[in-house]
Amino acid sequence: MTFGPRFTLAALVLLGASPAAAQRPDSGMTMAMPGMASPMPIPMPPGMVMIPGLVGLAPAVTPFLPGVGVDPASLAEAGPMRTVTLASGDTFDLTASLVRRVIRGHPYVTYAFNGEVPGPLITMPAGATITVRFHNRIDLPSTVHWHGIRLDNRFDGVPGVTQAAVAPGDSFVYQVHAPDGGMFWYHPHVREDIEQALGLFGGIDVVTAAIDSAPVNARAVLFLDDLLINADTLIPFGREVPDFTLMGRVGNVLMVNGGTDYRLAVRAGDVVRFYLVNTASSRTFNLSFGGAPIKVIGSDVGRFEREAWVPSVVIAPAERYIVDVRFDSAGSYPVLNRVQAINHFIGEFRAEVDTLGVVTAAGATLADHHADFDSLHTNADVVRDLARYRSAFDRPPDKRFTLTVSTHGLALPTAQFMTIDTAYYAPVEWIDGMPDMNWLSTADQVRWEIRDDATGKVDRDIDWHVPVGSLVKVRFFNDPKSFHPMQHPIHLHGQRMLVLARDGVRNTNLVWKDTVLIPVGSTVDVLIDASNPGAWMMHCHIAEHLGAGMMAVMHVDPR
């Protein structure tokens, strides 16, 4: 494993059966998969059984897995992420290809950038421009989207909006100019439910002194992810359209940096700066470090106004958080995902704890950053920068969107069950409590909607133009009375935004974001700094919700 100079990457360790891993076909029921050699069971959460009316059904899609007929042994095994340090003007080749990934001892055919999962961690200075030659060597069309980077619209990587999809065997040249410091990432913008889920993602650390020169003992980047595996088989994807469109595909194998064996060695008293990136299709994580104190520093596009102590880190798909964690004493600190699952059948919540890895502290720290860690700093430069935006905070919204869903043709038991599904509310659904119904739902039956309240238009039909240089206040309302209310991490390409208020309560600690979690039933006000001209996608970053239509385009027009 080769690491760059700036990051101490950790290896992961599997610490025993976790609740997510326990998601097994305990009902003994199976579902037939058309075109598959044998029935395909869908793993069910512990204590839950498939609804009898759904047994024997299968989603109305052709099952798809990459490399059908390819002997995994003939493919190169995916390697770990390497760090690539680039300067302005440098050129870098990025190739998507089939690889063999070994997960829990079993080989799978998946995808990788440059043979690595996650893909290469690109580090570059803020303000630099690099050239990336992308080569598509997988069996699907693809692109590369540079998530969170306010680059030239031509290189945003959205087929049908900024470029044509790159066909298998073809290439595309991107110029990536990164004006902001922070941890960003890249991934395809074609069938994210397949390509991103199967390993096509990587990080871009845009280096600034304010974030990357802090007094800490070590730095580590953690890509949080999951995969849905039944026994030793990947659950196939829908070839024509996504399946799992109600909840998104929530995996039962949780991973850090593409593996299930993460481990980090530190010294007692060390402070580690973690750069957290959620690359999962649908899962929101609630991450903690075995009781070690956590201080949140920054998020998607820079630092908060003020650092804050937190008991855990809630990170939705596509979000990033930068946190400092101090490991005071010698010993082991499990990296935990602790959530509350809902059993809709009996109306009960239950705690779930998954161990993603372990941090081991041994020996005494070589540099004591205790005093700095104990202080909660106010970032005067961030506060000062935000001053010019504050006059827009209290004005009425310029745009109001309602997040909702419409369906047709779902299996009758699914439609019936939804009437009790909504009897138990949680602002975030941490797990898939209904994987059988979820699996059967395809993008032909489910349409997730961003609805423009003023016009009634939905998703790509919304005609939204703003002049470049304007500040746009947007109010999102996540309708709790929809057929299936669920949280949505809304991502806006090419711009940055501030979360001004949640449910009418002003946010007093701002940070620039590109992805904003809208919990069930919540109203969230954001202020968009529409500074970058072009046609920019705004969508839910749950891959299957995106695949089921939940996207609009914001046109930032030249003046």
Partner 1 sequence: MITARLGAALLAAGVLAAGRAGPYDITLLSTPAAPDARGSARLVSAESPFGVAVTADGRARYDIELRITGLPAPSSLGAYRTYVAWAATPDLAHWTRLGPVTNGSSTVGTAEYNKFLLVITAEPGSEPAARSGPTVLHGTSPSGWLQTFLAHPIFRGAPG
C-alpha span between 342 and 430 (Å, rounded)? 9
Can residue 159 be called a binding residue for partner 1 (CB under 8 A)? no
3 or 424: CB nearest partner 1: 424
Task: Give the angle subtended at the CA of 471 by the CAs of 477 and 493, to the nearest 5°.
Answer: 70
Can residue 308 be called a binding residue for partner 1 (CB under 8 A)? yes
Can residue 13 be called a binding residue for partner 1 (CB under 8 A)? no
Q: Mark 416-427 as b/e (b = at least 16 C-beta within 10 Å).
A: ebbeebeeeebe
257 or 487: CB nearest partner 1: 487
- Side-chain-facing half-sphere of 435: CA atoms under 13 Å: 31
Can residue 171 be called a binding residue for partner 1 (CB under 8 A)? no
38 or 508: CB nearest partner 1: 508
Query: Tokens at residue 154, please?
Result: 């031509």
CB of 504 to partner 1, least distance (A): 8
Q: Pick from 208, 340, 360, 470: which binds partner 1 (CB under 8 A)? A: 340
Query: Tokens at residue 317, please?
Result: 């798909």
168 or 349: CB nearest partner 1: 349
Can residue 527 be called a binding residue for partner 1 (CB under 8 A)? no
Can residue 62 be called a binding residue for partner 1 (CB under 8 A)? no
Can residue 427 be called a binding residue for partner 1 (CB under 8 A)? yes
Segment lying near partner 1 (by CB under 8 A), choices 262-270, 307-315, 388-396, 443-451:
307-315
Query: Tokens at residue 388, please?
Result: 């010019």
134 or 430: CB nearest partner 1: 430
Can residue 343 be called a binding residue for partner 1 (CB under 8 A)? no
457 or 502: CB nearest partner 1: 502
Tell me which residues in 284-303 interact with partner 1 (CB under 8 A).
286, 288, 296, 299
Q: Pick from 29, 40, 132, 315: which binds partner 1 (CB under 8 A)? A: 315
Whose tokens are 């010294």? That residue is 267
CB of 26 to partner 1, least distance (A): 23
CB of 19 to partner 1, least distance (A): 12
Strand 270-278 and strand 218-227: pairing? parallel
Q: Which backbone phi and psi does 514 adopt, to 5 degrees?
A: -120, -10
Can residue 347 be called a binding residue for partner 1 (CB under 8 A)? yes
Can residue 517 be called a binding residue for partner 1 (CB under 8 A)? yes
179 or 480: CB nearest partner 1: 480
C-alpha span between 39 and 98 (Å, rounded)? 26
95 or 286: CB nearest partner 1: 286
Can residue 349 be called a binding residue for partner 1 (CB under 8 A)? yes
Amino acid in the structure at residue 473: K
Q: Pick from 98, 166, 250, 339: which binds partner 1 (CB under 8 A)? A: 339
56 or 425: CB nearest partner 1: 425
Strand 464-467 and strand 551-557: pairing? parallel
Whose tokens are 């939705």? That residue is 316
**Nearest CA to 255 among 450, 397, 118?**
118
Kindly write down the DSSP assignment for every residue of 370-394, as one continuous string: HHHHHS--B-HHHHHHHGGGGGGTT
**Nearest CA to 317 among 280, 266, 289, 343?**
280
Q: Pick from 511, 528, 546, 552: which binds partner 1 (CB under 8 A)? A: 511
Can residue 424 be called a binding residue for partner 1 (CB under 8 A)? yes
Can residue 27 be called a binding residue for partner 1 (CB under 8 A)? no
Whose tokens are 């500040």? That residue is 471
Is the bond leading into 118 cis (omega within 30 degrees of zero)? yes
C-alpha span between 305 and 377 (Å, rounded)? 9
Can residue 508 be called a binding residue for partner 1 (CB under 8 A)? yes
Q: Pick from 126, 428, 466, 468: which binds partner 1 (CB under 8 A)? A: 428
Segment lying near partner 1 (by CB under 8 A), choices 155-163, 332-340, 373-381, 391-399:
332-340
Size of interface with partner 1, in residues (CB under 8 A): 50
CB of 452 to partner 1, least distance (A): 18
N-term to C-term CA, the chain: 50
Kindly write down the DSSP assignment for every residue of 232-288, as one continuous string: TEEPPEESSS-S-TTT----SEEEETTBS-EEEEEEETEEEEEEEEE--SSPPEEEE
Tell me which residues in 466-505 interact with partner 1 (CB under 8 A).
480-481, 485, 487, 489, 502-505
CA 164 to chain centre: 24
Query: Tokens at residue 146, please?
Result: 């540079």
CB of 422 to partner 1, least distance (A): 8
Segment lying near partner 1 (by CB under 8 A), choices 44-52, 94-102, 269-277, 305-313:
305-313
**Nearest CA to 129 among 185, 89, 180, 184?**
89
Q: Pick from 149, 190, 198, 518: which binds partner 1 (CB under 8 A)? A: 518
CB of 163 to partner 1, least distance (A): 31
CB of 284 to partner 1, least distance (A): 8
Q: Pick from 312, 332, 343, 470: which binds partner 1 (CB under 8 A)? A: 312
**Nearest CA to 320 among 523, 77, 95, 149?**
149
In whole angstroms, how far apart are CA 5 and each of 25, 114, 185, 310, 321?
Answer: 44, 20, 19, 29, 21
Which residues have CB under 8 Å from 242's CB, separation 6+? 191, 193, 442, 443, 543, 544, 547, 548
Can residue 509 be called a binding residue for partner 1 (CB under 8 A)? yes
Segment lying near partner 1 (by CB under 8 A), choices 136-144, 163-171, 409-417, 424-432:
424-432
In this structure, the chain runs to a length of 559
438 or 482: CB nearest partner 1: 482
The strand pairing partners of 44, in sequence order, are 24
C-alpha span between 541 and 492 (Å, rounded)? 10
Q: Which residues bind partner 1 (CB under 8 A)?
A: 286, 288, 296, 299, 304, 308, 310-316, 319, 321, 338-340, 342, 347, 349, 351-353, 423-428, 430, 480-481, 485, 487, 489, 502-505, 508-509, 511, 516-522
